[in-house]
Structure 1
């Protein structure tokens, strides 16, 4: 057969179309695409669309990215000096912060390249801040393992998603969609009763960073990707994430992702009582899960004798220490301190004095001992 450019072009387009419809993972299993789940799992599918997972990475085509109604306020405009035509993808933008990729797939860095959404604990308006200042004005995108579904890293040599050289890998779908957690499911779609998708929790693959034996920190707060590490260092290390969370629903915007104290804390701590009358109406998470984690925003709370930073996420450490000699962080501030049993403990400045700013540390230790 003679070579003909048009014939080869048709073959290329057909191959590209087939690849878009069904892709193959590194293990050889095929992806079906999240929309294939909708026909059988409509209620769960609609719930999951209200979470931040599928919106972790969005393609931009000359207009702002779209977020679910009654959830994130979204990103109204790109970084100063840019238009939406300059942007290929938006990273995040659901609740906390957004970063941006240029038309070559590189992440924009420098002054005013990260958009922090308003955060209710801090009553701050949305605003622009610097990201990765001091390095190249743009950096390669290598974050697909936790931002996409079916990510295959490729490095600088490619292949590159959408042919964009700044994206050092490819994916099946942008965002964390159904098959990111349940595995490639084309076989399940073809034979639902014979082939079952993965149902084992895979949260730790993204809600952890680096060594799980250490808890990364910076600026007096835990870094935002350490949920699994903090849970391991807590008294609840044997619990699955699903013990407290509904995996297809968000804990933000009153969408039902937290199961509530009656089916979580009180299941095991049914005999624990709050003895201080003024505290009887407080939720367990108010004290045992203070905002000691930062994703985008933090503010200092000045109490009598010191200052404590307040983050925009709650911690999963749970345990509170009233020992005056216990320090929550290592001396260099890079990690949460662990005791001889590899357990972490919150200190009362984070637990109590972020609210009771007219009081001091001795008062907080005394009150903490009296609550239960």
Structure 2
């Protein structure tokens, strides 16, 4: 492993460890240190926004595993997943929690407790267990479209694998803080050792708005001051800074310079990830995780001076099923009056205004996120809406393909 990188990681962990031991959750303090207050505090003054945000995918991207948070059945016959080697993993509800239990010919092999549910449950949900001082992904996930348990993405169909380690590269975008006790060099890489249960679930207010302790203190003492003080005002950031706030998690996995838990609003992406010198063509990018690259290659973005993720998305509300809302935002630029409206003359303009999205940002199958359901021999891909805005048409197989803008990723 790069010695310099290791030394940086060790220093980071040492600082974080001191902060967390002094200000741990057992004392009611935020795991991130004195500058943070936790999202529940924001609800005092921003209750409507806070209540709306609770239902969003960002907030629910990770949760403590429980009867209410884990999707899928825990009673027969819908709680069993069979592997090719004859091992069955059974989802069992016990007095001490929810478990995935492996049996071979009816004989117990091993059992692991659901600790964390990863994913909002809109598309799929996978799960994590804790052993020793490390987190591991469980071999069986839940696929919403199939309403059934499925083999976890990238796992073998031949046997259940309980040894895939989950590290901060995963937690960095699915939690607001996961405490690492220390990092040890191991061969050409490193091993992270975690503090069990020291997690701030979901992507909370302060991941996007920055530490709010001073902001809260000031406005408690100055209730008449209506303009936000001692907090990053998103509308004052440069457009690239706004984009980077989303791209830190929506631009795919890349070698990290430092922990993205350190990322604050106004930070630049280039300070957190090494440059990608072998950038693939846009046509080769998978729709999962590379929303930033696909969006920034779109002509809508290229021809705009100030378009960013928030031009279309309200991060405080769940709008994903309301295509009319998104379509109306397209109308901010694509207007009949200035002849920039959709040129499809076979459909009435009033109808087009109800749904631009399915034509210009269709849902496509992911090549990287595929899950094998019970009894199937071919994995089912997760379907995700592409962020490469363009003109699409069905190809000869009935799969939509991009008609224009194919050279965007040259």
Shift in CA distance, 51/350, structure 1 to aligned 2, threshold 3 Å:
farther
Measure, in 2, the Cα distance between the counterparts of 1:161 and 1:75. 28
**2:345 aligns to what?**
276
**1:349 aligns to what?**
394
In the alignment, is residue 47 of structure 1 matched against residue 92 of structure 2? no
* CA shift for structure 1 position 231: 0.8
**2:30 aligns to what?**
22
In the alignment, is residue 160 of structure 1 matched against residue 194 of structure 2? yes
1:24-39 aligned within 5 A: 24=32, 30-39=35-44
Tell me how many residue pairs correspond in the alignment: 284
Measure, in 2, the Cα distance between the counterparts of 1:19 and 1:351. 62
Measure, in 2, the Cα distance between the counterparts of 1:350 and 1:48. 39
**Which of 314, 321, 330 is residue 246 of structure 1 equivalent to?**
314
In the alignment, is residue 317 of structure 1 matched against residue 388 of structure 2? yes
**Which of 205, 208, 221 is residue 248 of structure 2 equivalent to?**
205
Question: Per-residue CA shift, 1:45-99, capped at 9, x if unaligned?
Answer: 01111111121111125x3417xxxxxxx44447742430521111114211111
CA contact (8 A) 1:265 1:284 kept: no
Measure, in 2, the Cα distance between the counterparts of 1:318 and 1:13. 47
Give RMSD over aligned pairs: 3.9
Which has the larger displacement, 152-161 or 195-204? 152-161
* CA shift for structure 1 position 214: 3.9
Measure, in 2, the Cα distance between the counterparts of 1:161 and 1:296. 29
Question: Per-residue CA shift, 1:299-333, capped at 9, x if unaligned?
Answer: xxxxxxxxxx986221121233xxxxxxxxxxxxx
CA contact (8 A) 2:154 2:369 kept: no
CA contact (8 A) 1:64 1:75 kept: no
Q: Structure 2 unaligned segments of length 5 or more: list them.
A: 1-19, 82-88, 93-97, 100-112, 185-190, 220-227, 255-274, 372-379, 404-410
Greater relative contact order, per chain length (Cα 8 Å cut-off, separation 6+): 2
Q: TM-score, normalised by structure 1?
A: 0.63
**Which of 63, 85, 90 is residue 81 of structure 1 equivalent to?**
90
**2:268 aligns to what?**
none
Measure, in 2, the Cα distance between the counterparts of 1:313 and 1:17. 36
- Which structure has the highest strand share of the two? 2
**Which of 153, 169, 181 is residue 131 of structure 1 equivalent to?**
153
Measure, in 1, the Cα distance between the counterparts of 2:359 and 2:165. 40
SS at match of 1:292: strand
CA contact (8 A) 1:147 1:174 kept: yes
Q: TM-score, normalised by structure 2?
A: 0.58
* CA shift for structure 1 position 279: 6.5
Measure, in 2, the Cα distance between the counterparts of 1:149 and 1:13. 17
**2:136 aligns to what?**
107
* CA shift for structure 1 position 268: 3.6
Measure, in 1, the Cα distance between the counterparts of 2:281 and 2:69. 31
Q: Structure 1 unaligned segments of length 5 or more: list them.
A: 1-11, 67-73, 119-123, 164-169, 299-308, 321-345, 356-360, 366-372
